Amino acid sequence: MTDETEADLTGATPRRRAKAPVEKVGGRKLRPATMMMGHGYDPMLSEGSLKPPIFLTSTFVFPNAAAGKRHFEGVTGKRPGGADGLVYSRFNGPNQEILEDRLAVWEEAEDALAFSSGMSAIATLFLSMVKPGDTIVHSGPLYAATETLIARILGRFGVHWLDFPAGATREEIDAVLAKAATGNVALIYLESPANPTNALVDVEAVAASRDAIFKGAKPPIAIDNTFLGPIWAQPLKQGADIVVYSLTKYAGGHSDLVAGGVLGSKEHINTIRLMRNTIGTICDPNTAWMLLRSLETLELRMSRAGENAAKVCAFLKDHPKVERVGYLGFLEGGDDARQADIYRRHCIGAGSTFSLYLKGGEPEAFAFLDALKIAKLAVSLGGTETLASHPAGMTHLSVPEARKKALGITDNLVRISIGVEDADDLIADFEEALKAV
């Protein structure tokens, strides 16, 4: 369906809406959970359909030739901001654009992009920011595929890297950034909490260090916020410039799709969008539609999972077969003082994914995993169901043994993502599984 009232003289069309979105009522700013029900979508542009249809088309008809030219000026980067209207499904589409509008709402970002997976989002970010000879400074550990992408793949093309541990102090971060600054630092890339150890990165300290060391052009700070965002952490408020998501996880939340997202300033998003347009890493319309459905219940699902995790971890904490539980809600003084300080300043909640360290090694971890009945033995996290996996033997198997040891990815570590089941049922499942250890 077309609406000629939308088009200006060039045929440029705004994102599937004919009027400004509702963001306030009676002076009250609407919460993200409310805006997920309609933000970025005008039913009158789609025959009055309450929910956006799935736009299964490869290409879109231009109202006139001038409009086609203007759209391609945006697509090719001759004019910043992307196309003013719909062009081709490798570049944009109604479902993807509505999704991007709603993703940006959660963290009050200027703009957002959707991708075919979390790793395609990360890869597109890196490719848009770095060139041969540049250096990426990153926290550690990272998701294993991200580390592989930096060290093994980008490294083949002359990109260098330096890292610091997730819980590094300002002084430790200064030392790494000062060393890296002797070359061209193109990007500072963080992951917090780190996968799979749950260690937090001090984003404020990284931003302060970056601003102190780089007097001219400052490398952007990007952060993977998959474990806590957007309900329990919003790192743009701590000084990050770009936020990365595996939307497969909490945003999708039902273990039935794979997607990624990047949020940030229009300047950075424009740069990343140009690369996405070139290599075609946008998500498909059906996946975007499913994510729109999932975002409507994001706050409800994450809140329930977080409440469940607190109860489960309280049970596991004092179990005689458990060495320790890497749960953010348990951070206090002593050895955890540094992490506890970061948690108080950066986090709104403890999340629902944690690391469980059993007494023993791989045999004990495998015995526990094999005995689970309700929790599913599978990688990933943030779904409605509880998942458990063995990082050292699964997601981080490709990480060299010496680096796994240095990063604390041990054979007795089990990563658990708590879902929305009944908490007491989950505790019963873990209690029985621990008997097999």
Task: Please give the CATH superfamily to which domain 298-434 belongs.
Answer: Aspartate Aminotransferase, domain 1 (3.90.1150.10)
Gap between the Cα atoms of 316 and 331, Å rounded: 15
Cα radius of gyration rounded to whole Å, the chain: 22
**Confidence label for 19 from pLDDT (cuts 50, 70 and 90):** low
Gap between the Cα atoms of 186 and 18, Å rounded: 39
- Res 218 pLDDT > 90: yes
Stretch 153-167: mean pLDDT, rounded?
A: 96
Higher pLDDT, 77 or 130: 130
Stretch 332-352: mean pLDDT, rounded?
A: 94
Q: What is the pLDDT of residue 9?
A: 34
Q: What is the pLDDT of residue 202?
A: 98
Is 125 within 8 Å of 262 (Cβ atoms)?
yes
Residue/partner pairs of 322-327 with CB below 8 Å, 24 or more apart: 322/356, 322/357, 322/358, 322/359, 322/434, 323/357, 323/358, 323/359, 323/412, 324/357, 325/354, 325/355, 325/356, 325/357, 326/197, 326/198, 326/354, 326/355, 326/356, 326/357, 327/198, 327/354, 327/355
Q: What are phi and psi of 275, to 5 degrees?
A: -70, -40
Q: What is this structure's pTM?
A: 0.93
According to CATH, the topology of domain 114-275 is Aspartate Aminotransferase; domain 2 (3.40.640)
In sequence order, what are the residues at sequence separation of 6 or more whose Cβ sits closer than 8 angstroms to the Cβ of residue 408? 141, 197, 199
Where in the chain are all domains bearing CATH 3.40.640.10? Answer: 114-275
Where in the chain are all domains bearing CATH 3.90.1150.10? Answer: 298-434
**Confidence label for 16 from pLDDT (cuts 50, 70 and 90):** low
Range of weakest confidence among 20-29, 167-176, 258-267, 268-277: 20-29
Gap between the Cα atoms of 245 and 263, Å rounded: 9
Q: What is the token pair recorded at 351?
A: 């999340």
- Res 1 pLDDT > 70: no
Average pLDDT, the chain: 93
Stretch 119-136: mean pLDDT, rounded?
A: 98
Q: What is the pLDDT of residue 407?
A: 81
**Confidence label for 20 from pLDDT (cuts 50, 70 and 90):** low
Q: What is the token pair recorded at 111?
A: 């703009």
Burial of 324 (0-12, 13-18, 19+ CB in 10 A): middle
Gap between the Cα atoms of 390 and 140, Å rounded: 18
Amino acid identity of residue 7, one-letter, is A
User: Minimal CA–CA distance to 161: which of 403, 409, 346, 410?
Assistant: 403
- Percent with pLDDT over 70 in the chain: 95
360-376 pLDDT, tens digit each: 999 999 999 999 999 99
User: Minimal CA–CA distance to 282: which of 43, 136, 427, 87?
Assistant: 87
220-276 pLDDT, tens digit each: 999 999 999 999 999 999 999 999 999 999 999 999 999 999 999 999 999 999 999
CA distance between the termini of the chain: 61
DSSP one-letter code for 151: I
Between strands 376-377 and 387-389, the pairing is parallel
Gap between the Cα atoms of 409 and 399, Å rounded: 10
**Confidence label for 22 from pLDDT (cuts 50, 70 and 90):** confident
Q: What is the pLDDT of residue 335?
A: 81
